[in-house]
Amino acid sequence: MLKKSITAILVLAGAFFLQTASASAQQTQQAPAATQSGTDQDIQLLRQDIRSQKKQIIAANMTLTDAEATKFWPVYDQYTSALTKIGDDRTALIKEYAQSYDTMTDAQAKSLIKRWAATDEQAVQLRMQYIPKFEQVLPGKKAALFFQLDRRIGLLIDLQLASMIPLVNQ
């Protein structure tokens, strides 16, 4: 039951983050720079909250010994830091998409989709880079569980993004 409630919290937080990001991107077209700065700070705080909730979900769903936890969490923090940079790129792309939504050219659309795909590829490459690092600090099954949890949480966030971002106008 705890696992389901934590997942529900993450989904709600993700939805709230994405609604705020979507709304802020729409306001960017109409709002002055000072408002944009405030909205960016709100988005940053929400993303930090989601990362915190993700860490809580990982902790709640993995049974780590004290020795494993001592080794695992520093690697997790490094991984999350690198993943956050990819998230920064995605956030910037969403803002750019929203800003150019009504006036987007074919060239802009091609550029955005290629850069979005590049962030997906970066995330896969990061996972591949960290698999051996997590396997050094955890037994195989626990490392696999971590990556399953990480991927599922990522998919939930991606699903929320996909449901909130309008399709390209033709």
How many other β-carbons are positioned within 10 Å of the β-carbon of residue 76? Answer: 22
**Residue 34 exposed, middle or buried by CB count within 10 Å (0-12, 13-18, 19+):** exposed
- Give Cα 156 distance to the centre of its chain: 9
List pLDDT tens digits, range 108-124: 999 999 999 999 999 99
Q: Where are the chain's structural domains?
A: 2-164
End-to-end CA distance of the chain: 45
Q: pTM for this one?
A: 0.75
- 140 vs 5, higher pLDDT: 140
pLDDT of residue 146: 97
| Mean pLDDT in residue range 92-107 | 93
Summarised one tens digit per residue, pLDDT across range 139-164 is 999 999 999 999 999 898 888 888 88
Highest mean pLDDT among 17-31, 41-55, 58-72: 58-72
Q: How much is the mean pLDDT over the chain?
A: 82
